[in-house]
Amino acid sequence: MKHDAVAVVDFGGQYAHLIATKVRRHRVLAEILQPEDAVEKFAAYKGIILSGSPSLSSHGEDSEYTKAVYDLEIPILGLCFGHQEIAKHYGGEVIHGGREWGAADFELQREHPLFKGIPRHSKVWMSHFDSVAAVGPDFEELGISRLGSGEQRHRYAAIGSDRHRRYGFQYHPEVDDTEFGDRMLANFVLEICGCRPSWTMDRYIEEQMARITAQVGDDSVFLLASGGVDSTVAAILLGRALGEGRLNLLHVDNGLMRKDESREVLGLFRRMGLDKNLHFIDASTDFLAALAGVTEPEQKRAIIGNTFVEVFQREATRLGIADHLLGQGTIYPDTIETGGTRRADTIKTHHNRVPIIEEMIAAGKVIEPLADLYKVEVRELGEKLGVPHDLVWRHPFPGPGLGVRLLCSDGTVSEAELAEPRRQARSLAAAFGLDADILPIRSVGVKADLRCYEHPVLLHGAVDFDTLLEAAGTILRRTEGVNRCVWNLAEAMPQTLSLLPATVTRERLDLLREADHLVMDGLRRHGLYEEIWQCPTVLVPLSLDERGRETVIVRPIYSERAMTASPARLTPALLDELRRHILALPGVSGLMLDITTKPPATIEWE
């Protein structure tokens, strides 16, 4: 059957592929095309969506794409960078300014089929430096936006020309945080482009099984199985396509796992009947030796990824199956955040995307049956394939494990770098009745599709959670050099914040394992585990008491696809319990709650 399809042009924005999966949810096939693809290729589609980009439209960056698409009589919707490019192409003006990130209030200026079924006021999600300052003759302003209460309004949040059938949104309808984003995309695809919905997940399974059989041929697969939902669903799918005899599983304890995790994972595999060709190796000594003395986050990630490959190859040789393809449960965000499409910036290198694996992929030695999917789709697939509910809904846990939650430092910090952000943050926090300081460490974030590595703001004071989130949003928008806000859970504002020299050691990992165990156990007992999407616990080498004891930071979030996230609410009872138990751990002097959206902070700290 031939499906009606939409082309998504990937300008390298963090969300380009997400647009495609969102369109597919409306049962319309969406495919990713490159901006320089020939115009004839685009002509086969019933609609075109231009994605966001890390490039600046105002500076004419990335402007060498196939502009002939604008001559096609096919509706085009531009998002963020794509929106600005459409405005420019049809005689409007784009300026470097008017930046917004996070939730904004959107207000429709008139009724339009693109906004069918959507109220006049709603929430949209912004992440941009440039904005549209004027539109050309055939265009009109369909919506405006405002950030926070009483702040200045931003014009041209949505624009359109029915004559040309060209439309643009400054915000991202594809992220879950845009309240009616799904509906807006559906309206574009179904109403404006007139696509017939005929695409399904069953069809996806069929195609993947065929693809696996074709790629593997007469070979076999050796799959790295962490026990997380991605690699487990990949194992089931591969097992079905190839038969169990041609699938070997390797579970590696890299020393960066949670408390008792490997033991539990092996038990789970046994219960699921995945233990016929299941191998286990405790490689914690290899990983910890390779990480000794290293403090830089990307270097840690690279070492962990490379050590996985070394351990895998050593085990494969030992078992006499070195000719097998390497199987991985890689999902789409792993690729996109590693800068895996030509234009995307590297936010962080995922363990399954280090250069040696990229080389193996190029040589056809790797099979990744879930590489196009987001977590929410993997879960849907897992349920369809009969994976037990608890496993399908386990919190995601990154491949490098606690390695990216154990911050390291050489113990030095430039005080000059902290002075100006501290002044700005303090004056903004005071308006909300809060004290503020800047933490002398850095963590990874993402702003307007680019990686940033900046300081967290520490807030202290007794205000309600909504005020706290509003304060965090305002401070992060208006302060340079910061990308995260944390809230002090101890009684008093710390008088000292000293940075300790620290690296990856078994002792620090054991301390983090204990803190993480208390948090996970607390979430389960207080009935919050299912509602919260993920909750990293981070150990930071910051001593608040001059005794060399470190600080624990808890990061509960809500999300669906991990490309965006918002801070989750913990109950006062759970917060009290965490205060009592975590601050009582020997080696811990401080406890904080991360209250930052993604963007500008990523979910993990490194």
- Active-site residues, by number, are 80, 172, 174
Q: Exactly one of 483, 534, 596, 597 binds ligand XMP (CB under 6 A); which one?
A: 534
Q: Exactly one of 17, 172, 251, 348 binds ligand XMP (CB under 6 A); which one?
A: 348
Q: Interface with ligand XMP includes 456 (CB under 6 A)? A: no
Q: Interface with ligand XMP includes 254 (CB under 6 A)? A: no
125: left (phi over 0), alpha (psi -120 to 50) or beta: beta
Q: Exactly one of 239, 327, 399, 541 binds ligand XMP (CB under 6 A); which one?
A: 399
Closest by Cα among 335, 447, 345, 478 to 61? 345
Q: Exactly one of 85, 337, 368, 516 binds ligand XMP (CB under 6 A); which one?
A: 337
Please state, in angstroms and rounded to a whole number, the distance separating the CA atoms of residues 605 and 552.
Answer: 12
Near ligand XMP by CB under 6 A, which window of 48-56, 184-192, 493-501, 598-606?
598-606
| CB-nearer residue toward ligand XMP: 27 or 301 | 301
Please state, in angstroms and rounded to a whole number, the distance separating the CA atoms of residues 587 and 589.
Answer: 7
Here's the x/- map for ligand XMP, 316-335, by CB under 6 A: it reads as -----------------xx-
Q: Which of residues 546-575 bind ligand XMP (CB under 6 A)?
A: 562
Give the other-Cβ count within 10 Å of 497's Cβ. Answer: 18
Sign of the torsion angle spanned by Cα atoms 40, 53, 31, 219: positive
Angle 385-388-389 from CA coordinates, rounded to 5°: 105
Q: Which of residues 474-513 bind ligand XMP (CB under 6 A)?
A: none
Query: Strands 550-554 and 588-594, how do they pair?
Result: parallel
Minimal distance, residue 334 CB to ligand XMP, in Å = 5
Q: Interface with ligand XMP includes 400 (CB under 6 A)? A: yes
Q: Exactly one of 136, 396, 461, 587 binds ligand XMP (CB under 6 A); which one?
A: 396
Q: Interface with ligand XMP includes 454 (CB under 6 A)? A: no
| CB-nearer residue toward ligand XMP: 230 or 577 | 230
Q: What is the CA radius of gyration of the chain?
A: 24
Task: Round to the nearest angstrom and report the end-to-end CA distance of the chain.
Answer: 45
Angle 569-575-583 from CA coordinates, rounded to 5°: 140
Measured CA to CA in angstroms, residue 363 lies from 68, 247, 340, 359, 360 at distances of 35, 20, 16, 6, 5
Q: Interface with ligand XMP includes 377 (CB under 6 A)? A: no
Q: Exactly one of 17, 88, 300, 350 binds ligand XMP (CB under 6 A); which one?
A: 350
Q: What is the DSSP letter of 535?
A: -
Minimal distance, residue 348 CB to ligand XMP, in Å = 6
Q: Which amino acid belongs to residue 440? A: P
Q: Exactly one of 26, 112, 128, 598 binds ligand XMP (CB under 6 A); which one?
A: 598
Residues that bind ligand XMP (CB under 6 A): 333-334, 337, 347-348, 350-351, 396, 398-400, 534, 562, 598, 602-604
